[in-house]
Structures are given as structure tokens and as C-alpha cells.
Chains A and B, each alone.
Chain A
Amino acid sequence: MLCAAADGGELALCTGCLEDLPWQPASACPQCSLLSPFGAVCGSCLRSAPAFDITRALFNYAYPLAQLLQRYKYQQALHIAQTFSKLMLQRFSRTATFDRIIPMPLHPKRLAERGFNQSLEIARLLNRQLHSTLDTTSCQRIRLTPPQASLPLKARSRNMRGAFRCEQRLQCERILLVDDVMTTGASLHELASTVKAAGASHVECWVVARTQAKG
């Protein structure tokens, strides 16, 4: 139950609350999901293309999403994963085909701290509908990096460099990466490049919330 009025229901949200959420606008860059007029590929992606091909985000990372995601991650309000995964399937696709779904891996130490992997729990539910392969083993986080949120934007992509390792051959596979928040896209970019280096042909990112550049 995310709002007080909803009596359970699929999403645990009433229609009113649902409409009030800061939905991601339709006119966003298909590759990085930043605002862009007419939904064209944005300038920064044109300038230096990220490793992933497509990004879909449900929300802007704004009130109350920030608070909701905090509760989800740090207070283990696991039921929220249900809402997120159902909305993703509803808005993005119920039928998309991927060879593999890879949730953003957590470093084992971070995993122990948190007690669960927030991206995995969403991915697990997505996979129930998409009938792909949920893969939590082939990609590992090998460096315990400081949390991205603690770093200035510019340092983030440096921070992520070489953070992942992929031990699996992913020849010509279509991969879905799942993460909770995409801010600069540095982690997803790094993961996507690792996956592509392992042979993947197409990489799509599904995230709950996308930070829109201020201004």
C-alpha cells in the first residue's frame, strides 16, 4: 500500500496518486532517456554515444520518487518492487524479447549491508512476464566503489571505470539491464560496455527513475 486510499489492488496505488506521480515525459532521448524535443536522440548521445542502445525510465527522479526509492532500498520495503515491475511491464512492453536480463550487480559487501539487491528484485518480477533468463552470476562488481551519489557528476564516470567483470560469452545476445536510478548513466554505461565487450549485440536499460539535468 503506497497511498492510504488504495485497497490493495494491482499497483497498491489509487488512480489519483498514480496520475500525480512525476512521469517521464514522452519526448525523451530514446538512448539515454533525457528530455529532448520531439523524442529525438539528444545531443550528448550524438556527441559520444553511450554503450547501451535504448533506455526506458518510468519517472523523473523527483519527489516522491526519491523518498519512495529510499524506503525501498534502505528500509527493505520489498513490496514496492511489485509496483515498479508492474508499471514497467505496463508502460514499456510485456512482450519484448531478451536473451538475458541482468540486474545491476551490487558489490558483495554492499549486498551484505543492504540484505538484498534492489535491481534484482525488480528484474525477478519482470522476468516472470518476459520469460527470459535472469542472470545474476555472469556479471560481477569487482571494485567496491564509493556510492555514485557521494561524488560530483564529473567524477562518476571515472569512479565506475573497470568496476564490472563479465565471465560469460554473450555472443550476439540481446541484453536487458535493470537498475533503480539512472543519474549520469555512468554505471549503466560501464556495465553495458562490459556486456558488449563480452559479445552482446543489443543492450537496453530499464530504470525506475531518471535524473533530468537541472536547468
Chain B
Amino acid sequence: MTLLALIFVFGAWVLQQLPILPSLYWAFLLIVPVILVISCRRFSGQFSRVCHRQGLALAAFLLGFFWAAAFATHRLADALPTEWERQDIQIVGVVASLPQVHESGQRFEFDVERVITAGAVVPRHLALSFYTREFAQSPEPGEDALPPPYKAGQRWQLTVRVKRPHGIINPHGFDFEAWSLERNIRASGYVKKHPGNRLLTAAVYRPGYMVEMLRERIRERMDLVLQNKPYKGVLQALAIGDESGITQDDWQTFLETGTNHLMSISGLHITMLAGLGFTLVHFMWRRSARLTLALPARKAAALAGALVALAYALIAGFSIPTQRTLYMLGVFAFALWSDRQLSIFRVLAYALFVVVLLDPWAVLAAGFWLSFGAVAVIAYALGGRLQRPHWFSAAVTTQWAVTIGLLPLLLVMFQQASIISPVANALAIPLISLVVVPLTLLGCVVPVDSLLVLAHQAMNLCMRVLTWLTSSGLSVWQQQAPPLWTLPLALAGVLWLLLPRGFPLRALGVVALLPMLMPQAIRPSPGAMQVTVLDVGQGLAVLVTTETHAMLYDSGPVYSSSNDSGNRIIVPYLRAAGIRHLDGMLISHDDNDHSGGAASIFRAIPVAQLYSSLPDGHPLILAHMEANTRQRANPPVHQRCRAGQSWQWDEVRFEMMHPAAADYEMARKGDNDRSCVLRVTSRYGRLLIAGDIERDAENALLASEYALKSDVLIAHHHGSKTSSGPGFVEAVNPAAVIFTSGYLNKFRHPHPKVVERFEAAGSRVYRSDQHGAILIDFGPESGVRLTPWREQNRRYWHQDFRRVSASHPVASLLKTASHAKVATL
């Protein structure tokens, strides 16, 4: 049974790796194992027993596979038609989640009950944002007086603009589209200011909404009691699972100490609290002879533990990780309740099965593997021993087992692991799980303010210790993404390392871990280069690597005050690619979508030489200088881009073609036209990156002595119609052109005329909103080869965004038939 449960999970996992969803008619294949099993049951003998077992295994696999397929088919059917993307739609529905407050408004999930706009089709469940002020605008004094309007459980009539979930897709990056699918968010958008927007019902009393209202009540109470205390956000995360109040700095501390799992309500807290409930009821129940005779104390306690877990999971927003733990504890409680003694591994297998049965997408989440992995590793390291170890040595073994046991998974999924995490966790787990969480929750239920204040003080103490630990220097192990073949080897090594004492040569298990810890980066040969055009949405970031050097052109946009493409996309990508420092970086000009991530990059990794069109006193230049002083790098650190600059790395030539020195003197020249233009010539092909230049600079380049002809062009200014004039396109005449534009961006980049112009010139067109990141190899085997990551890594939930163009007003979509050519590339 255990094995069959695991095979079912495997079946569901396989489905989630598919690029297209198979038709459910294939489920008739299930007949094969069914016939096999039934016919084998008739006969006895070795052969038919084997057949019987194989038949069952096959049935379990197919069941898992088609179970997941049925879920996916059903959910994908509830979609937003493309013609209703970015259209005003009036709907009536209920605020279905506790609204998260962020710097410029609110964000919440919304259950659509009725669509008012005639003919409009909207998925049943949306994610909506409400902006109180424009993006990136700082609050004006007195403006915050208006309380955020939306509360959980309210029924509203709203005018919204939504689009299908579209995420930026990069190697080693986060898949927003998968995340949305699992959470049943089939469209997201914002509430449009409209006179028809009005509150219809103050509170819709349905169980799900009532839980959300209760969570909101708790949040309000905590806001009131804790006012402006620094770790209010942390306590709110612990009580109601609302992590939006945790500051970026605190997150960084948690990440570096490997304690970030403590901040999200996941396995640990629920288990601990359920354990507290168990212990308490176990103690109290026995005081009454009548109760004990009616029901053994242990069973009553198991029931109480399960109920406590359920209650906490609900208050915590019933997020997917909490559900996971709940089902696991449920299997435990059920076993106890029904007088079955199950081994821990069997409980794990059944819990895995239950989780995947209810949410087949769970197998995609890192947390899924980490939480089940943690329990399995602890059970493996502590279980099956002849004697119960002393509690202290059990605790030490647990920390050691979790740290070493989860290392392979962490490295494959995040390319980093905290070195001080065992120490930090050993201190933080008891403090947070047994003091902070119970106090906070008690403080939420009982109207005694001092409980919350006390909890905050305990949290304060915990933070002080953690901050001290991070200040001790090297705390995080980071490395490039290990190849997948090292994973089974590393897991075997871990199992060997964690064998019971007495096994000879346990330490040798480390050897099996080495290939994973020391992966060899595959770098281009001399004269060759690899180029990665990262998908940063509307913006630009291009990484060029040669045999021993790496250079970044532009750093993408800022998304919010704490998120930019630097810390979200570029730094993680560089780490995964094994690039520990940048030999050069170029900031083409001072637009948010090109320079937004730079500061985060300077903070995270050393950047030797900086080129930019920015003046010397610019904050980014200062930030770079400061970072270099800290890292004790050698000056000179910054040079202004000037036509004629050039250098050669590993037989690859880098040449600055624009702007001319004189361009800096001309005040009327726009920032865009002063973008640095870089030509990179490898032995196997040439790349041209031209920032955001417009016609003036194009003409200047055409007039210059440089040959513009290139194999690959990163289209300047995202394909705006103010750039890429016919003469320039003809002169460059690229084999492939790449537009880095955001999905349905408000500038409607790239312009169809520009796209057409390149197509007419015979260029293959790639777009980051349709192809994701684009990897380009200039190498001896391949010549110039482009790999669009979205196609390389396609999953069935990735919609084919090639059919609809960001640049087209929806109405004119059908007229531009030429666009279909792009799709067939």
C-alpha cells in the first residue's frame, strides 16, 4: 500500500512535467492494469503474483496521472478569454481573502458571483489590486487618512481590468503561472476607479468568508495593540499567515540564518501547537474518571490535537503549506484514533497521497519536498534505534539530520543553504514555536494586551540573537546550480551519513556529496560566448559570458520598494549560473527599466568595472563606489560610455559605439539617445545591444565608421515606433531580433510596424513576453543558436502567449494577419 501511494504521487508528478495536457480520453488505458489484476487473481503461482503486483503499480501510476490531468483540465477550462483581457468589466462578488496592505494600496482575492457587463466572461476567482496612488509615488502628507476600503467578506460591485496570469520566465526562476494555477487565480488585475463601484453587503456570512473576517479582526487588534512595534509584521505572519508586514531586512536575516521557514506558518508551528493541545488534553482528560472510561485519554488528546491544528490552519489562512501539515497530522490522528499503529514512513506516504489527491499541483512546490523531506530525514535519523536517546542528543541529531539531509534539495532548488542554520534553528525553534506563537495566539483570542506585548518582547530577543549570528560573517553557502545527476548521488551520501552509530566509515558519505558541492561550470571556449537575455518584464538585462569573464548589460526595472529585477531575477540567476563576480557592468541610461536593479546587484556581488552614461555624482555610481570600497576592489571603477572604448576578453571583442563624447555636452539630447551602444564580436557571431536609442542616435550610428551588421540585435527601446527606422534595420540586418517587453505593457511595445520591418528584412523575431528568457550560444558547434526558455521549458499551464500581441489593441488583432508569422517561427 505504501508503495502504491508513492506511485500515485509519482504519476501526478509526471503529469506536471508535461508541455501539453493529454486528453482525458486516454484514461481508458486504465483498463489495461484492471484486466491484468483481475485476470491474475484467477490464477495462482509466481508469475501471476508478479503480474498482479505490476498491474496494481501500473494502475496506481495511471490513476495518479489522470487524477492530476482531470484537475488540470477542469481548472484550465475556467479561463479569461483573450478578448476580455484589459477590458473594463463590471462584476459583483465577494472579497474572498484577507486583503494584504502594501505601499500603494491593497491586494485581495475575489470570488465573482455575477458579471454585469454584457457578454463578458471572467474566471470565478480573481486576484485584484487596488491602488490608492500611482505606482512608485511617495505618499503625500495627510493622504493616508483614507482607510483602505476593502474588507474580507464584503460583497462589492466593481469595475475591473484583468489579464491572464503571465509570469516572467527565467532559468532557475520562479514560475508565477504555476503558482497562480495551484491557487486557482485564473486572472489578475486591478480595480478601476468608477462611479458604479459600491459596497452591496457589509458581510457575507459563509464559512470561508467568516474565517477571513475573523483573521481581519485579529489583524486589526494586533495593529491596535502593537502600534508601530518593529516586529508587528512578524507576529502577524505567525498568527494569521499574513507575511506582507515583514520588512525586507528582517526577511534577509531569516534567509541568512535559515530560519525563514519559521516565519511562514508551515509544518513546525502547527505541529508544535497540535502537540501542545495534545499534551494539555491528555493531562486534563485523565482528571475525570468518567471521561477516561468513556474514551482513553490518548484518543481524546489525538482528537484535540487534530482540532487545534485545524483551527490554527484556518486562522492562518489555510494556505497550501498549512494544509499539507494538517493532512499529515490528520493521518497520524486517524491512525491513533482507529487503533492502527503505522510506521512513520507509512504515515508520510499516506499523507503525501492525501495531499496530492486534494492538490495535484503540490508536487511543484519546493515547500512540499522540503517539509516531507524534513520529516522523513528526522524519522530516518532517529527511528529504529534500540534505545531512546537523551532529549539533548535527540535534539542535536535532529538539527544535524535536517541540515545535512535537506542540503541536496536546497542546493538544487535554491542554490544556497545557510551554514549557521543549525545553530540559529536550535535557538529559534523552541523560542518561536513554544513561546512566541502560543503567546501571540493566546493574545489574539483573550483580550489581554500584555500577552501580545510579551510575545513581541520574546520575538525581539530572538531577532537580536539572529542578527548577531548573521553579523558573524560568512553565513550562507551559495553555489551554482548543480546538475541533476548529482542529486541521487548526494541523497545516497546523506542516507549513508545518517546511518546509526556503529556503522563503519559513515563519514565517507561526504564523498558522495562532493559532486554536488563542486559543480564545474560549462563555460564557452575561447572566442565563443554565451548570451542570456533575461526576462525582466518591460525592461532590459543581458548577460554576456566568455571563457573567464562575465558582463551584464543593464539591470531591469524596479517592481516595488523592496523588489526589483536585481534581487528577484538577476542575482539569483548569476548565482545559479556560477558567476560570483561581474568583470563588467553597463548601465545604458538612467531609466527605471534599465537601471532599476543595479543597486541590488552592487549589494549582492562584486562588480569590477562599471560603464554608464550617468554623470559621476549619480546615486548609482556612488552606490557602486561604496560597494567596491567595502569589498576592497581596485579603482578605477566607473567610466562614462564613449564611442571608441574597447576591450578584449578571451578573444571576444567588446566595442562601445555610442554616445560620442560630444553627446554629453548637448543638453537637448534625451536620455534615451545617450544610451550606451555595445557591440560584442565573438569568433562565431556578433551581438548588438543598443539600450533605448531613438532616431537621432540611429542616424549618428549610420553615419559613423562602424559596420552595424550583426547576427543578433537586442531591439532598442523595446521595439518602440520611435526607433528602428528602415535604414537602421537594413544596416544591422540581424538574423534574429529580440524584443524585451512586458506582457500587455502600457506602451504597447513592440510596435507592429517595427516587428513587420524586421520580419520583412528576414529576421527571426523573439519577444521576452512570449518566449521568456532567451539563451544565445555563439559557439563552434552551434554557430549562433537561440533557445527561448519558455519553449524549452514548456508546461501545460503556460499559455501560448504568442497568439496575442501586446502591441495590438484587441480590436485590431484580426487585421494584422502578418503577425501569425511570428507564431510559426
A153 CB within 8 Å of chain B = no
* Docked-complex contact B341 and A1, CB < 8 angstroms: yes
A115 CB within 8 Å of chain B = yes
A78 CB within 8 Å of chain B = yes
* Partner pick for A112 among B286, B299, B336, B343, CB 8 A cutoff: B286
Of the stretches A19-27, A38-46, A116-124, A166-174, the one at the interface is: A116-124
Within 8 A of B (CB), among A3-19: 7-8, 12
Closest B-chain residue to A4, C-beta based? B343
Closest B-chain residue to A118, C-beta based? B296
Q: Cα distance A121–B340 when bound, in Å? A: 14
B796 CB within 8 Å of chain A = no
Closest B-chain residue to A77, C-beta based? B341
Q: Cα distance A116–B339 when bound, in Å? A: 14
Collect the chain B residues with CB atoms within 8 Å of residue A77's CB.
Answer: 341
How many Å from the CB of B193 to the closest CB on chain A? 62
The contact string, 1 if C-beta is below 8 Å from chain A, for chain B 742-771, is 000000000000000000000000000000
B52 CB within 8 Å of chain A = no
Of the stretches B63-71, B287-295, B427-435, the one at the interface is: B287-295
Collect the chain A residues with CB atoms within 8 Å of residue B339's CB.
Answer: 78-79, 81-82
A64 CB within 8 Å of chain B = no
* Docked-complex contact A116 and B297, CB < 8 angstroms: yes
* Docked-complex contact A7 and B285, CB < 8 angstroms: no
* Docked-complex contact A115 and B289, CB < 8 angstroms: no
Collect the chain B residues with CB atoms within 8 Å of residue A113's CB.
Answer: 286
* Docked-complex contact B299 and A111, CB < 8 angstroms: no
How many Å from the CB of A101 to the closest CB on chain B? 14
* Docked-complex contact B342 and A115, CB < 8 angstroms: no
A201 CB within 8 Å of chain B = no
Given A1-B341, A7-B1, A117-B293, verify A76-B298 contact (CB < 8 Å): yes
Collect the chain A residues with CB atoms within 8 Å of residue B287's CB.
Answer: 112
Q: Cα distance A169–B209 when bound, in Å? A: 57
* Docked-complex contact A120 and B293, CB < 8 angstroms: yes
- State which size class the interface on B falls in: 10 to 19
* Docked-complex contact A108 and B296, CB < 8 angstroms: no
* Docked-complex contact B1 and A78, CB < 8 angstroms: no
How many Å from the CB of A130 to the closest CB on chain B? 18
Q: Cα distance A111–B294 when bound, in Å? A: 12
Q: Cα distance A93–B285 when bound, in Å? A: 34
A136 CB within 8 Å of chain B = yes
* Docked-complex contact B296 and A78, CB < 8 angstroms: yes
* Partner pick for B298 among A1, A108, A112, A115, CB 8 A cutoff: A115
B456 CB within 8 Å of chain A = no
* Docked-complex contact A115 and B285, CB < 8 angstroms: yes
B282 CB within 8 Å of chain A = yes
* Partner pick for B342 among A1, A108, A120, CB 8 A cutoff: A1
Collect the chain A residues with CB atoms within 8 Å of residue B336's CB.
Answer: 78
* Docked-complex contact A111 and B293, CB < 8 angstroms: yes
Closest A-chain residue to B335, C-beta based? A79
Q: Cα distance A120–B292 when bound, in Å? A: 10
Q: Cα distance A46–B54 when bound, in Å? A: 62
Given A111-B286, A111-B293, verify A116-B298 contact (CB < 8 Å): yes
* Docked-complex contact A121 and B296, CB < 8 angstroms: yes
Q: Cα distance A112–B285 when bound, in Å? A: 8
How many Å from the CB of B1 to the closest CB on chain A? 7
* Docked-complex contact B289 and A78, CB < 8 angstroms: no
Total A-B pairs, Cβ < 8 A: 48
The residue in A76, A78, A81 that gathers the most chain B C-beta atoms within 10 A of its C-beta is A78
* Docked-complex contact B342 and A78, CB < 8 angstroms: no
Within 8 A of A (CB), among B329-357: 336, 339-343
* Docked-complex contact A79 and B282, CB < 8 angstroms: no
* Docked-complex contact B341 and A116, CB < 8 angstroms: no
Given A1-B343, A78-B336, A79-B340, verify A111-B289 contact (CB < 8 Å): yes
* Docked-complex contact A136 and B285, CB < 8 angstroms: no
Q: Cα distance A120–B341 when bound, in Å? A: 19
Within 8 A of B (CB), among A47-74: none
* Docked-complex contact B289 and A108, CB < 8 angstroms: yes
Within 8 A of A (CB), among B1-26: 1
* Partner pick for A115 among B1, B292, B340, B341, CB 8 A cutoff: B292
* Docked-complex contact B292 and A117, CB < 8 angstroms: yes
Closest B-chain residue to A108, C-beta based? B289
Given A76-B298, A78-B299, verify A116-B292 contact (CB < 8 Å): yes
How many Å from the CB of B464 to the closest CB on chain A? 41
Collect the chain A residues with CB atoms within 8 Å of residue B293's CB.
Answer: 111, 117, 120, 136
Q: Cα distance A7–B289 when bound, in Å? A: 36
* Docked-complex contact A76 and B296, CB < 8 angstroms: yes
Q: Cα distance A19–B395 when bound, in Å? A: 40
Collect the chain B residues with CB atoms within 8 Å of residue A12's CB.
Answer: 341
Closest B-chain residue to A7, C-beta based? B1
Q: Cα distance A7–B341 when bound, in Å? A: 11
* Docked-complex contact A8 and B340, CB < 8 angstroms: yes
* Docked-complex contact B297 and A115, CB < 8 angstroms: yes
Closest A-chain residue to B343, C-beta based? A1
Collect the chain A residues with CB atoms within 8 Å of residue B299's CB.
Answer: 78
Collect the chain A residues with CB atoms within 8 Å of residue B282's CB.
Answer: 115
Collect the chain B residues with CB atoms within 8 Å of residue A121's CB.
Answer: 296
Closest B-chain residue to A117, C-beta based? B293
Closest B-chain residue to A136, C-beta based? B293
Collect the chain A residues with CB atoms within 8 Å of residue B286's CB.
Answer: 111-115
Collect the chain B residues with CB atoms within 8 Å of residue A112's CB.
Answer: 286-287, 289, 292
Q: Cα distance A79–B286 when bound, in Å? A: 19
How many Å from the CB of B385 to the closest CB on chain A? 14
Q: Cα distance A121–B1 when bound, in Å? A: 28
Closest A-chain residue to B282, C-beta based? A115
The contact string, 1 if C-beta is below 8 Å from chain B, for chain A 26-40, is 000000000000000
* Docked-complex contact B289 and A116, CB < 8 angstroms: no
Q: Cα distance A74–B342 when bound, in Å? A: 19
* Partner pick for A111 among B292, B340, B341, B342, CB 8 A cutoff: B292
Q: Cα distance A12–B293 when bound, in Å? A: 25
Given A12-B341, A113-B286, verify A78-B298 contact (CB < 8 Å): yes
How many Å from the CB of B664 to the closest CB on chain A? 79
Within 8 A of B (CB), among A160-211: none
Q: Cα distance A113–B287 when bound, in Å? A: 9
How many Å from the CB of B384 to the closest CB on chain A? 9
Q: Cα distance A212–B728 when bound, in Å? A: 105
Collect the chain A residues with CB atoms within 8 Å of residue B341's CB.
Answer: 1, 12, 77, 79
Q: Cα distance A117–B298 when bound, in Å? A: 11
Given A108-B289, A111-B289, verify A116-B296 contact (CB < 8 Å): yes
Q: Cα distance A116–B282 when bound, in Å? A: 11
The residue in B298, B299, B341 that gathers the most chain A C-beta atoms within 10 A of its C-beta is B341
Closest A-chain residue to B288, C-beta based? A112
Collect the chain B residues with CB atoms within 8 Å of residue A78's CB.
Answer: 296, 298-299, 336, 339
Closest A-chain residue to B300, C-beta based? A115
The contact string, 1 if C-beta is below 8 Å from chain B, for chain A 91-130, is 0000000000000000010011111110011000000000
How many Å from the CB of B288 to the closest CB on chain A? 8
Closest B-chain residue to A81, C-beta based? B339
Closest B-chain residue to A107, C-beta based? B289
How many Å from the CB of B334 to the closest CB on chain A? 12
How many Å from the CB of B500 to the closest CB on chain A? 16
A selection of 25 A-B contacts at a CB cut-off of 8 Å is A1-B341, A1-B342, A1-B343, A7-B1, A8-B340, A12-B341, A76-B296, A76-B298, A77-B341, A78-B298, A79-B340, A81-B339, A108-B289, A112-B286, A112-B287, A112-B292, A115-B286, A115-B292, A115-B296, A115-B297, A115-B298, A116-B296, A117-B293, A120-B293, A136-B293
10 closest A-B pairs by beta carbon, nearest first, are A116-B296, A115-B297, A79-B339, A108-B289, A79-B341, A112-B286, A76-B298, A82-B339, A115-B286, A136-B293
Point out residues on A near B: beta carbons under 8 Å. Answer: 1, 7-8, 12, 76-79, 81-82, 108, 111-117, 120-121, 136
List 9 additional contacts besides A12-B341, A78-B298; criterion CB under 8 Å: A7-B1, A8-B340, A76-B298, A78-B339, A111-B289, A111-B293, A112-B292, A113-B286, A136-B293
Point out residues on B near A: beta carbons under 8 Å. Answer: 1, 282, 285-287, 289, 292-293, 296-299, 336, 339-343
